[in-house]
Amino acid sequence: MNQSLVAFDTDRIKDYVFASDALRDIRGASRILDQLNREKLPALVGADAQVAYAAGGSALFALPSDQAEAAITRVRQAYAEASGGAATITGVELPLPAGFDLQTGDIRPLWRLLGDRLAAAKSRNPPYLASVSHPLIRYDAVDDARYAAVLDQAEGSLISEVS
């Protein structure tokens, strides 16, 4: 069975984590990303995957080639759902040569190529921008970058779901 290396890297971590100046929001956003990366990511990729690492906003897996694209899609959806669409992750696949042994083969050239593919894919990601599409929709009171969707009872102001 052919295998692929699949690499993930979280996009614009600082933009997501520090979207608010409030410490509780920063800690909450950081916790969401940490949970996704260390706890949920290996399960989302699949049971057949070999985990090389998954921490610090990036991850590397070896898995059957026919499962790679579906795994990338599942991970992207999970990040979008957990963060209200504000946190995104880029994933790329590199098919391994036939008969390549991960334990004994020289992975350095493949590692460089995978890193180049990941950098190229990340450079194509559009920036996250909220745009007002209706004159009665308001931006939130925290950062003026996302739609106000929730009433903060303690503050009495409107905030977005990701704040």
The per-residue pLDDT for range 43-98, each reduced to its tens digit, is: 999 888 888 888 888 899 999 999 999 999 999 999 888 887 778 899 999 999 88
Q: Where in the chain is the domain with CATH 3.30.70.270?
A: 3-128
Whole-number Å distance between alpha carbons of 148 and 84: 12
Choose among 78, 82, 75: nearest CA to 59. Answer: 75
Tell me the whole-structure pTM to 2 decimals. Answer: 0.73
- CB atoms near residue 82 (< 10 Å): 16
pLDDT at 4: 93
Fold for the domain defined by 3-128: Alpha-Beta Plaits (3.30.70)
Q: Is 8 a residue whose pLDDT tops 80?
A: yes
Question: Could you read off the pLDDT of 112-157 as tens digits, one per residue?
Answer: 999 999 999 999 887 655 444 555 455 555 555 555 566 666 666 6
Q: Give the tokens for residue 18.
A: 């520090």
